[in-house]
Amino acid sequence: MRRLYLARLTRALCVKEHRMKFTYIDVKNEYDLEETARRLGAVLSVDFEEEVSGKYEEYPAYVAVTEEWIFALLGFPNPEQDLRDERDNSYYNLQVQPRGEQLPNAENIVTAINVSHALRCKVAD
């Protein structure tokens, strides 16, 4: 049953055009990063795990991997490591990277998350 749901969700959330390598989504900072990852995982039917290898350098992160995509939810760096031009902590950054031919459609992912009422998000500027 879960596999069928994931297959349908995958078809609904992807596009087959090769416009970009990543999809970027802003997730409203209403909960701590761990709770946001838990809620996001429930909505997308994936299991986020804390990323501890340092891949995202100063950004704390949670990562989920499926057959189709790699999801990376990035938090905010510590102030002493924060090199961003604008230090706005209003939104976490969700990066979705394809693992194959099917590129994720940001609008469809945002709609799926917002309809769930678990989190609020928007396509990143």
Query: What are the structural domains of the chain?
Result: 2-123 (3.30.310)
Q: How far apart are CA 40 and CA 82, in angstroms?
A: 25
End-to-end CA distance of the chain: 36
Of the candidates 41, 26, 115, 13, the one whose C-alpha atom is nearest the C-alpha of residue 76 is 26
What tokens appear for 26 in the block?
């802003």
Say what the pLDDT of residue 5 is. 45
Of the candidates 31, 58, 103, the one whose C-alpha atom is nearest the C-alpha of residue 48 is 31
Say what the pLDDT of residue 111 is. 96
Q: How far apart are CA 41 and CA 59, in angstroms?
A: 19
Say what the pLDDT of residue 84 is. 66
Say what the pLDDT of residue 79 is. 74
In order along its 125 residues, the chain shows pLDDT tens digits of 444 444 455 445 544 444 458 899 999 999 999 999 999 999 999 999 999 998 988 889 999 999 999 999 999 887 777 776 777 789 999 999 999 877 788 999 999 999 999 999 999 98
Torsion, Cα 59 57 48 39, to 10 degrees, reads 10
Say what the pLDDT of residue 38 is. 98
